[in-house]
Amino acid sequence: MKTITRSCIRVDANAATKDEAIYIAEQLLADAGYIDSLLNPVIHPPARITPMNKTTLSLAIAAALVTPLAANADTILYGEARVSVNYIDNHIQGVDTYWDVVDDGSKLGVKGTEDLGGGLSALYQWEFSVDMTEGGNFGGLNQKFSGLTGGFGTLTLGTQDTPYWKVLNVIDIWNSSKVLNGSTYLGGSVTPETNVSGALSTLPNNVDYQTPIFNGFSAEAMLVLDSNAANTMLGSPNISNNIDIWSVNFKYNQGPYFAGLTYIQLNGGNNVDLGNGRTVDLDLDNWGLGLGYKADQWLVGLIYEQGNFNNVNFERQVRVDGVPLATGSDAKSWYLTGQYAFGNNTIRAAYGQTDTGIDGQSTIDNYRLGYQYNFSKRTWIWAEYSGRSADTPFYSDQDVVAAGTRILF
């Protein structure tokens, strides 16, 4: 199967295993004089093969022989370190302002693809959040999936960003984790008790399909299957049957322009019994629109949402002895963000409003300012201000000033 001569190396296609490659390399190096003759035209004076560089050269030749086996595979280790110092004032009587060191989304992951031939490729991603303020603990609902991609589109299984978020993330240009939450956009939180940020951005136990891109147009659909995701978010067991949540989007992304329309639904029932005379409606949904423009130094993003799958509108869904806790209509939210870059500097600003839809509650106003200085394409420092004017059961006035670093690798 192996032919070794002084004029060439021929390796049978079925013999290029790691062990056989090393064997071939060792056979070549057994005749040090022959190797010297190969190197002599290039290296003067003639190179001598010592035991140490003989081993090194053997491994190099072996690697060269097995490289074609992995030529179509690509694995990347990536991550980012993002930490800041925060000054937080929640404007709550009797509660002091405070300073805190906050991890704003540090992460570590691997991702890759393999060419399977015939236009088909395998792909995967395995990512964890890394809390750099708590000893580097791993966790978080980050993307972890595997699947196939080809002319038919892309089909993946695992924990992934939702189609809903992939339209609304046109406004995600900030460094601080205090900017995007349930008061900023309706998908930011659906848990009244905890105000979990990004609750509808990434979900577990899902099947996701993305169409090929046709002249900038594409579509995506996701099913969250029996994952207890909705149960965890709303604290109610057995609210759905097999499919907890489903979401779709339709997007156009060509040149500097982006436009997207999206929908997400919690597939729960109505009048779900919570005990003690309490019931809740869990057949909930949101829809959203995202528009973006990015060219040269400018970036602008605008989103609009409407629905009841969110915490600001949740009181309408709960009844005690048949009487709703609140009356009203669906919540509505809009948010406009923009940035301008010049030299190593970037300035950002944003403003938006959230109407909870609850009768008697005032509108929530959100405003942001930010500055970023880039040392390189992977390292920068930043400072951001987040302000909120609100008087609702789940959100009060708030001012946050944050400054930190962000390093990508």
Task: Indicate the pLDDT class of residue 96, thresholds 50, 70 and 90.
Answer: confident
Considering only 37-46, 59-68, 267-276, 280-289, which range has the smallest mean pLDDT?
Answer: 37-46
- Looking at the structure, do residues 228 and 266 belong to the same domain, yes or no? yes
Q: Percent of the chain, pLDDT > 70?
A: 76
Q: Percent of the chain, pLDDT > 90?
A: 56
**How many domains does one find in the chain?**
2
What pLDDT does 22 receive?
47
Q: Tell which residue, 310, 313, 321, has the closest CA to residue 286.
A: 310
What pLDDT does 323 receive?
93
Mean pLDDT of the chain: 82
- Looking at the structure, do residues 371 and 286 belong to the same domain, yes or no? yes
Rounded to whole angstroms, how far apart are CA atoms 234 and 92?
Answer: 26
Task: Indicate the pLDDT class of residue 43, thresholds 50, 70 and 90.
Answer: very low
What's the CATH number where 143 sits? Answer: 2.40.160.10
Rounded to whole angstroms, how far apart are CA atoms 202 and 137?
Answer: 19
Instruction: Give the mean pLDDT of 116-142.
Output: 89
- Looking at the structure, do residues 45 and 151 belong to the same domain, yes or no? no
Rounded to whole angstroms, how far apart are CA atoms 361 and 341?
Answer: 38
- Looking at the structure, do residues 194 and 61 belong to the same domain, yes or no? no
Q: Is the pLDDT of residue 15 over 70?
A: no
- Looking at the structure, do residues 290 and 190 belong to the same domain, yes or no? yes
Among the three residues 44, 69, 94, which one is the final residue of a domain in this structure?
Answer: 69
Is the dihedral angle over the CA atoms 129, 131, 132, 138 positive or is it negative? negative
- Looking at the structure, do residues 325 and 353 belong to the same domain, yes or no? yes
What pLDDT does 401 receive?
97
Highest mean pLDDT among 214-218, 244-248, 279-283: 214-218
Q: Which residue range(s) make up the domain with 177?
A: 74-408
Among the three residues 50, 69, 88, which one is the final residue of a domain in this structure?
Answer: 69
- Looking at the structure, do residues 49 and 105 belong to the same domain, yes or no? no
Task: Indicate the pLDDT class of residue 178, thresholds 50, 70 and 90.
Answer: confident
Among the three residues 69, 98, 127, which one is the final residue of a domain in this structure?
Answer: 69
Q: Tell which residue, 227, 234, 318, has the closest CA to residue 280.
A: 318
- Looking at the structure, do residues 6 and 97 belong to the same domain, yes or no? no
Instruction: Give the mean pLDDT of 169-198.
Output: 77
- Looking at the structure, do residues 45 and 112 belong to the same domain, yes or no? no
Considering only 35-44, 111-120, 183-192, 208-217, which range has the smallest mean pLDDT?
Answer: 35-44
- Looking at the structure, do residues 80 and 25 belong to the same domain, yes or no? no
Q: What is the pLDDT of residues 233-259, one digit of tens each?
A: 555 555 566 788 899 999 999 999 999
- Looking at the structure, do residues 121 and 246 belong to the same domain, yes or no? yes
72 against 191, higher pLDDT: 191
Instruction: Give the mean pLDDT of 290-318.
Output: 94
Torsion of CA 177, 179, 181, 185, to 10 degrees: -140
CB atoms closer than 10 angstroms to residue 251: 21
192 against 394, higher pLDDT: 394
- Looking at the structure, do residues 183 and 324 belong to the same domain, yes or no? yes
